[in-house]
Every structure is written in structure tokens, then in C-alpha cells.
Chains A and B, each alone.
Chain A
Amino acid sequence: MPQKISTFVLSIFKLLIKNKHKIGKFMSNVFTSSIGKKLIMSITGAFLVLFLLFHMSMNIVAIISPQGYDAICAFLGSNWYALIGTLALAGGFFLHIVFALTLTLYNRKARGNNGYATSVTPKTVEWASQNMFVLGLIVILGLLLHFLQFWYKMQFAEIIGHHQSMLGETMVSTTSGSAFIAYYFSNIIFVVSYLVWLTALWFHISHGFWSALQTIGFNN
């Protein structure tokens, strides 16, 4: 089975290398267009949704078995495969934000300087679809809090060679994810913050996922 997977991955790489000129040409001439920029939003967005599914599966384990969750944290940690994943994720996130900013500024300019005195939003238009940028900002804010509380004290601590982190007044292992969850979510302020964060994320994806399919051209 592992042999089959490695041959499959190798064949994909071979295909990419064989068509490198074609791909390069496509990249250079498609992404200058408005639809091309949106294609990047779609692909990176879909990639981030896949990560969320992965993250959610891990969190479900935490509900069933705290020990199981800690085992997953230990398995990932700062191992090479987790670091590659993190880097790819950061790259996807970076592109998603950069192109979101580019497109938002471009669209603002296209709307023009003169707004309407009165304007009615049609009933069929979903609220989330008109507020993706603001929702995205809330997602980033929540992410910063999450990084500070979890990532910085877990994976990052391991990267810089620590095996323990301060959690309140006690030192805990960087791999005991369940202890982190128990500590932070005993505080109602953090519980509410995370709920706000996840609600914003839900609305962002409720439009984003469908929108990504529409942009790639999957409709009818």
C-alpha cells in the first residue's frame, strides 16, 4: 500500500514537471484577470476548509477521549510532516488574505465614489455574501487569540526546543492539548469569544464554499 501511494505521488510530480511550461504560462496569464484572482480565492479557500475538517476531527477526539487527543498532539507536535503541513497552511492563508485585500480594493474602486442615497438589498441575497471581508477580519482576530493560547504554547514551543509551557501558574507538557482546552474553556470570556469566532467562520464558509464552486464553474 505505501508503495502504491508513493508511485502515485511520484507520477503526479512527473506530470507537473512534464507540463511545467504549460502550467507556468497558465499561472502567468490567468491570475492577472479578475476571474483568475477569484480562482485563487476559491482554491485556497477550499484548501483551508479541508484543514478545518482535519482540525475538527481532532477536536472531536478530545470530546471522546482526552488521552486520545493528547496522543494526537504528541504525534503531530513539531515533527517534519506537521511542520510541512503548517507551512502549506500558512501559505494558503497568506494567499487567501492577499487576494482578498486585492479584490476588495479593486471592487471598491469599481463601485465608484458616489453611493446611493437609498438602496434595498434583495431578499434572496444572503447576508454573509455581502459581509465576507468583515467576517474574514473577525476570523483573523479569533485566529490570533487561538495562536496565542494554543499554537504558541504547543507547536511553537516545541519548535524552539521547549517541552513544557506555562498554563496559568502551572507548567504542563506541550503535548497535553486536553489540559489546554480544560484550562482556557473554564473561563466564560474565552468560551464566548470562541463561539463568536466560530459563528463568524460558519457564516464566512456558508457563502465561501458555495461561492468557490461557482467561481471554479461547478454549477448546473
Chain B
Amino acid sequence: MKFKIKIWRQKNAKAKGEFVIYDIDNISSDTSFLEMLDILNDKLISEGKEPVAFDHDCREGICGMCSLFINGEAHGPDTQVTTCQLHMRKFKDGETITVEPWRSAGFPVIKDLVVNRGAFDKILQAGGFISVNTGGAQDANTIAISKEDGDESMDAAACVGCGACVATCKNGSAMLFVAARVSSLAKLPQGKVEGSQRAKAMVAKMDELGFGACTNTGACQAECPKSISISHIARLNREFLTAKLRD
């Protein structure tokens, strides 16, 4: 297959970026999107040009490191997958593919397609954890947890923190990410202890870092590679408001 790849190139955080179109040929339909970018970069390097910078790590769809806004969608046209699990067979032969970095005030561009998602780490550091003394692993089932609660907690815990929600949201809101973290812990007895403090601290940090407010459009859950439901946002709102009421 062959494609025209229209890619956002930006030298550094301060430089003014622009789109550059690259022609690429002889791509197998089984090539993953990131492998296609690898092939493009090999070509650029052999031509003595600067390769395209993009984020990636495990390439198994579990680490949340890859990003990319492809043809107007976070992680591209496929559903419930990260960019590394997207394959070229999802595109038409000869198609022009537009590749852009995540765009939001909370995620400034570092270079080309790489954005700084350090804000997510800061939000997690504000309260996305439980304070327990680590030691020997507990026996399974020492703490009884209902199947429903366990399932809901695990659904929320599936969040890989890639930032597709922020990239997709018209308000650049990080509510789905924060909700997934708060919700996965709120559903478990271990997480309930610090529940109030967690919701308040993480929302305060989210606001402080310049992420927008949620208007409940549901675009985030549609683009989330892990299909995290916005019902978790309702739980976050509940946790936050009751915590504030208790103050």
C-alpha cells in the first residue's frame, strides 16, 4: 500500500510548527501504524533528514505511552485500541493520512508529535494512591469485595493514562482520567479510607494545571482506547461534592 502522510513537524516547544507531507510506498497492510512511522523515519534518516519524533513504548496496547491524533480521531479510526494496535489495513490505499499531536493547554508540544503529559503524573501524585505499609502479600479474599464492586473498580482501573480523553474533549478536560482513578479506588475498601481527600486533592490539582471543566458530551468515552464509561465521572462528582459537604 502507499500513502501520503501529512505530519505535524515542530522543532521544539517554542517553535512554530507546520504540516509536512511525506510519500511512503510498499507498506504491508499488516504493518502497525507505529511501524509505518518507523519505516518513514528510516527513510528520512537515510536521506539525511530529521526523523519524526513520536511517543511509544510497549507496543502491546497496555502502557498508554503512544498517542497521535490520526485523521481527526485520538488513536486513529479504529475503536478500543491505542495507536500501536492500529494497522494500515484500516486505511485506503493512496489515502492522505493527517497525523497531529494531542492538542490541549494541559499537554504542551515538546517536539513534533510528542507532548508533555507530565500533568497526569502531578494529578496522580496529588492523591491517586492508597497509603499502606507494604509488606508480604495478603491472602486472597481476606477482604471480601462484591463481584459488582470489583468489576467496576477493574473497569476504571483499565485506564492507561494515555490522554486521549483530554485530546478529544472540546474543553481539554481531564475529568475521565481523574474519574477513572478516583472511581477504581473508591469502589474498593482499601481506597475508601482516603476517598474524600483523594477526590478533593486530584480535582484541585486538575483545575490548577489548566484542564477544562466537563460538559458531559461523552466524546472522551467514545475515543477512550479502554472504553472507560463517563458513569465514573458521575461517581467522581459524587465523591467530590460529598467530601466538600463533609468539610
Contact = CB atoms under 8 A, between A and B. Distances in A.
Interface of A: 25-26, 29-30, 33-39, 103, 106-107, 109-112, 114-126, 129-130, 132, 207, 210-211, 214-220
A113 to B, nearest CB: 8
Interface stretch (B28-36, B134-142, B167-175): B167-175
Contacts, number: 142
Interface in B85-135: 98, 100, 103-106
A99 B176 CA distance: 22
A85 B5 CA distance: 61
Q: Is the interface of B mostly helix, strand, loop or mixed?
A: mixed
Contacts of B173: 107, 110
Contact of A35 (B222, B235, B237): B237
A124 B239 CA distance: 26
A174 B152 CA distance: 59
A111 B105 contact: yes
Contact of A107 (B172, B244, B247): B172
Contacts of B214: 34, 38, 215
B203 interface: yes
B183 to A, nearest CB: 10
Given A26-B245, A112-B103, A219-B231, A35 B203 contact: yes
The binding surface of chain A is classed by DSSP as helix
B106 A110 contact: yes
Given A29-B247, A34-B207, A112-B104, A107 B222 contact: no
Size band of the B side of the interface? 35 or more
Interface stretch (B37-45, B47-55, B56-64, B65-73): B65-73
Nearest to B200: A33
B219 interface: yes
B211 interface: yes
Given A29-B247, A35-B241, A112 B234 contact: no
Which of B98, B217, B218, B235 has the most A CB atoms < 10 Å from its CB?
B217
A170 to B, nearest CB: 47
Contacts of B72: 116, 118-120
B222 A124 contact: yes
Interface string B203-243: 11011001111111111011100000011011111111110
Contacts of A219: 230-231, 233-235
Contacts of B233: 214, 219
B222 A39 contact: no
A110 B105 CA distance: 5
B234 A111 contact: no
B234 A36 contact: no
A123 B236 CA distance: 25
B15 to A, nearest CB: 13
A111 B171 contact: yes
20 contacts: A26-B244, A30-B241, A33-B244, A34-B203, A35-B240, A38-B213, A38-B237, A106-B212, A111-B170, A120-B71, A120-B73, A122-B222, A122-B223, A124-B221, A124-B222, A129-B218, A207-B216, A217-B239, A217-B241, A219-B230
A215 B170 contact: no
Given A117-B98, A118-B72, A220-B235, 12 more contacts: A38-B237, A106-B212, A109-B210, A111-B103, A114-B103, A117-B6, A118-B98, A122-B218, A124-B218, A126-B217, A219-B233, A219-B234
Contact of A132 (B6, B203, B215): B215
B22 interface: no
